Amino acid sequence: MGTVGDAANKDTNGSLAEKKPTVVFVLGGPGSGKGTQCANIVQHFGFTHLSAGDLLRAEQKSGSENGTMIQNMIKEGKIVPSEVTIKLLQKAMEESGNDKFLIDGFPRNEENRAAFETVTQIEPAFVLFFDCSEEEMERRLLSRNEGREDDNIETIRKRFKVFLESSLPVIQHYESRGKVRKIDAGRPIEEVFESVKAIFTPKNEKAE
Ligand code: ADP
Ligand code: C5P
Ligand code: MG
């Protein structure tokens, strides 16, 4: 029985699915500290960090045919169609040579989630969820200073709305399957990482 997803899988993704990579989805509101903590996880646990937002910004800057669409979506805090984002993620996974990935900021909505599952046939090992108040996230985003076009109060409010309406349901989907590891992300960076470490450290090493 061939579905569109099977066909896409056979054509573009045979080698990736066969590798059975370990994938951890890293989710949380904008400014909750996903990128910051992923950098720490990479150093300690040998994962490759793939930020969907970073990949989309790089694609936009590369002058791709989707560049203007991506720029407009990011400026409005909207979610880019999964077809674009999944291709970027697959390419980055294939090129990395690694088999352990932190996929940060993806899946951002139900469409992202279902399409990734269908196209890649990869199930996440678990979902790391950085839980943080809007007040704290807003403070962090307004002082991030990376020159991002979406770190202004007008776009930030739109991103919070999209997070509540579209991204939280994805987290709830995985919650109902027992896959969510929730972290209180409102604390200082080092404290948050202590909790993160406990999740990534194999159980039989924890006592050492
Ligand atoms: P995200 O990737 O979830 O949008 P970032 O990791 O880029 O978030 O963090 C947003 C901003 O907040 C950055 O300037 C970062 O240095 C800062 N930051 C990250 N984690 C913390 C924390 N626990 N406490 C205070 N500031 C933080
Ligand atoms: O995760 P990050 O904050 O870097 O994402 C910035 C923007 O990139 C999002 O607000 C959204 O416009 C876009 N994005 C997307 N689909 C994703 C991740 C990010 O459209 N899965
Ligand atoms: Mg980020």
State the pLDDT at residue 7: 44
Q: How far is the CA of 100 from the centre of ligand 1 (A)?
A: 23
| Residue 66 domain flag | yes
Is the distance from the beta carbon of residue 78 to the nearest atom of ligand 2 less than 6 Å?
yes
Q: Is 46 annotated among the ligand-binding residues? A: no
How high is the pLDDT of residue 75?
Answer: 98
Domain holding 61: CATH number? 3.40.50.300
Measured in Å, residue 208 CA sits from the centre of ligand 2 at 39
Inside any domain, residue 3: no
Question: Tens digits of per-residue pLDDT, 21-80?
Answer: 999 999 999 999 999 999 999 999 999 999 999 999 999 999 999 999 999 999 999 999
Q: Nearest residue CA, atom 18 of ligand 1?
A: 33
Q: Is residue 81 part of a domain?
A: yes
Half-sphere exposure for 23 (CA within 13 Å, toward CB):
24
pLDDT tens digits for range 140-188: 999 999 999 999 999 999 999 999 999 999 999 999 999 999 999 999 9
DSSP state of 185: T
Is residue 7 included in any domain, yes or no?
no
Edge-first strand order for the sheet with 126-131 is 48-51, 100-104, 22-28, 126-131, 180-184
Q: Whose CA is nearest to atom 4 of ligand 2?
A: 53
Residue 205 lies in a domain: no
Domain, as residue range, for 45: 17-197
Assigned domain for 93 exists: yes
Per-residue confidence band for 208, with pLDDT thresholds at 50, 70 and 90:
low
How many domains would you assign to the chain? Answer: 1
Query: Is 11 a member of any domain?
Result: no
Q: Provide the pLDDT confidence category of residue 1 given band limits of 50, 70 and 90.
A: very low
Beta strand ranges found along the chain (DSSP E): 22-28, 48-51, 100-104, 126-131, 180-184
Q: Is 105 annotated as a binding residue?
A: yes
Nearest ligand 2 atom to alpha carbon 112? 21
Q: Is the CB of 73 under 6 A from ligand 2?
A: yes
Greatest alpha-carbon span in the chain: 52
Is 130's C-beta closer than 6 angstroms to any atom of ligand 2?
A: no
Is 6 among the domain residues?
no
- Evaluate if residue 129 carries a pLDDT over 90: yes
Comparing C-alpha atoms, which of 63, 88, 60, 89 is closest to residue 75?
Answer: 60
